[in-house]
Amino acid sequence: MAPKVLRVGGVVRPPGDKSISHRAVMLAALARGKSELSGLLTGDDVKSSARVLRQLGAEISRIQESGVWVSGSRLQAPGSRLHCGNSGTTARLMLGILAGQKFAATLTGDASLRRRPMRRVTEPLKQMGADIKERGDGLPLTIRGGKLRGLTYSSPVASAQVKSAILFAGLTGQVPVTITEPYRSRDHTERLFAHLGLGIHERNGAISYQPSALSIPSFNVSVPGDISSAAFMVAAAVLAEGGELLVENVGVNPTRTGVLVVLKRMGAHVERINLRDEGGEPVADLFVRPAALSGTEVSAAEIPTLVDEVPVLAVLASRARGSTVFREVGELRVKESNRLELIAANLRGLGVRAQVLGNDLQVEGTEKAPRGRVETAKDHRLAMAFAVLGTVDGANVKLSEQKSVAVSYPEFFRDLDRIYARRTTHDAR
């Protein structure tokens, strides 16, 4: 049988940005009056935030991409535990919101989320005066908010979730907060605060929120597509053997575009066209052509700008000429799975040389077709990254499961099929 030549083609639109969707729903629930949000991610994680906010008294219509309305009000004590599902962003940002509320609430989550560290958030919130009862460094835990004091905090990790939790605590507790972090993490919270006229500013890398007497106004916002989801389609197009792909409506906030910077260094052709602004966030369409890649070094300073794209970049590195190293990616051990070990182990299982050295990840490129089984550990980004690897010629990649993609990209497999000009089967399915 002649080898199949994988040609990509057409146009694809990634789902709404997960980080912005969480923040928009949360801020709308805190605002006075009715807000309209369009382009929201309909994935499970955002549904977790909406469910928790409804338990706290917010009225939120069904989460759909075309539009969601949120009627904000004063939050009320929940009747039962707040289940955050698989979503670290829900748990950590809600802790910030709850720190300023005069009632107790217990948060929990699925087995993956219960294993993830929460002290990075509970420590600063306790310093602000929140009363938090925790059994270890994780969920379940009970928070009783109330009267808070201001905080100046130097975070040991570059984490937008930590930063945002503190900003939300400042907002709901009406106290000033200032945060510095080792490297700048994604700044969607800051941008939304600025968009709503809330007192936020940055000086020499320190982010400060200064409360004003005003309540949060209701707002309308259109959420751009998620670059972290777009990255999988971009990667599939880069690995194809011909054609071109347009990925429309992608958020290109510079705190998130590290994947594009690294792809360019590796030799990929990804052009940003039709640059525009949506609710304080830069948005573009990405025009992608297949390319031969070479290995690169991804520095520690770049990691926060591509932290969720390491799985897909590692997969691309396995198809590049030479070796690639990702410096200081220890944080990947505490994502939805131990992503660091699982990326390396799964690549090895497919015949790729990959190893974890301290906190660095090294991947050697190969031309051999990847063949074998991938353990996703129900981690959506591992499932999608390895499904993309399963599209290369001669590949036979079997995923342990596929359902986890619903967390951030429910239509992932449909889109992956669609982008091939000539329909092909990819063995990952």
Binding mask 185-204 vs ligand S3P (x if CB under 6 A, - otherwise)? Answer: xx------------------
Alpha helices in 318-379 (DSSP H): 339-349
Number of residues near ligand S3P (by CB under 6 A) = 10
Nearest distance, CB of residue 157 and ligand S3P, angstroms: 7
337 binds ligand S3P (CB under 6 A): no
Contact 252, 284 (CB under 8 A): yes
Among 181, 190, 281, 308, binds ligand S3P (CB under 6 A): 308
Q: Least distance to ligand S3P from the beta carbon of 20, Å?
A: 8
C-alpha distances out from residue 310 to 103, 333, 391, Å: 39, 12, 18
Residue 19 within binding range of ligand S3P, rule CB under 6 A: yes
Distance CA 329, CA 198 (A): 33
Q: Residue 135, Cβ neighbours under 10 Å: how many?
A: 9
Q: Toward ligand S3P, which CB reaches closer, 385 or 392? A: 385
User: Least Å distance between CB 6 and ligand S3P?
Assistant: 29
Q: DSSP label at 160?
A: H
Question: Which residues have CB under 8 Å from 123's CB, separation 6+?
Answer: none
- Residue 415 is among the residues annotated as catalytic for this protein: no
* CA–CA dist 339, 354 (Å, integer): 13
Name which position in 42, 55, 89, 253 contacts ligand S3P (CB under 6 A).
Answer: 89
Tokens of residue 49, six digits: 């935030």
Site mask, ligand S3P, residues 148-187, x = CB under 6 A? -----------xxx--x--------------------xx-
Q: How far apart are CA 23 and CA 19, in angstroms?
A: 6
Q: Is 307 in the site for ligand S3P (CB under 6 A)?
A: yes
Least CB distance to ligand S3P at residue 115 (A): 14
What is the nearest approach in angstroms of ligand S3P to the Cβ of residue 412? 16
C-alpha span between 427 and 39 (Å, rounded): 31
- Closer residue to ligand S3P in complex, CB, 229/346: 229
Give the x/- contact pattern for ligand S3P in 46-85, rule: CB under 6 A: ----------------------------------------
Specify the length of the chain in residues: 429
Distance CA 113, CA 44 (A): 13
Radius of gyration of the chain (CA): 21
Task: Report the candidate in 290, 231, 292, 285 with the shortest Cα–Cα distance to residue 257.
Answer: 231
Minimum distance, C-beta of residue 290 to ligand S3P, in the bound complex (Å): 28
Q: Report the 10 Å Cβ neighbour count for 78.
A: 18
Instruction: Give the β-pairing of 33-38 and 220-222.
Output: parallel
* Residue 209 or 420 having the CB closest to ligand S3P: 209
Closest alpha carbon to 146 in 178, 173, 168: 173
Site string for ligand S3P, 233-272 (x = CB under 6 A): ----------------------------------------
| Closer by beta carbon to ligand S3P, 194 or else 369 | 194
Positions in 102-141 near ligand S3P (CB under 6 A): none
Do 385 and 231 form a contact (C-beta atoms < 8 A)? no
Q: Which single residue is written with the structure tokens 């100046």? A: 152
Min dist CB 116 to ligand S3P, Å, is: 9
**What is the CB-side half-sphere exposure of residue 407 using CA atoms within 13 A?**
24
Interaction between residue 404 and ligand S3P (CB under 6 A): no
Query: Of 22 and 83, which CB lies nearer to ligand S3P in the complex structure?
Result: 22
To which residue do tokens 């690897």 refer? Answer: 389
Q: Which is nearer to ligand S3P, 187 or 285 (CB)?
A: 187
Question: Active site residue: 45, 308, 379, 415, which one?
Answer: 308
**Footprint of ligand S3P on this chain (CB under 6 A)?**
19, 89, 159-161, 164, 185-186, 307-308
Residues with catalytic annotation?
Answer: 308
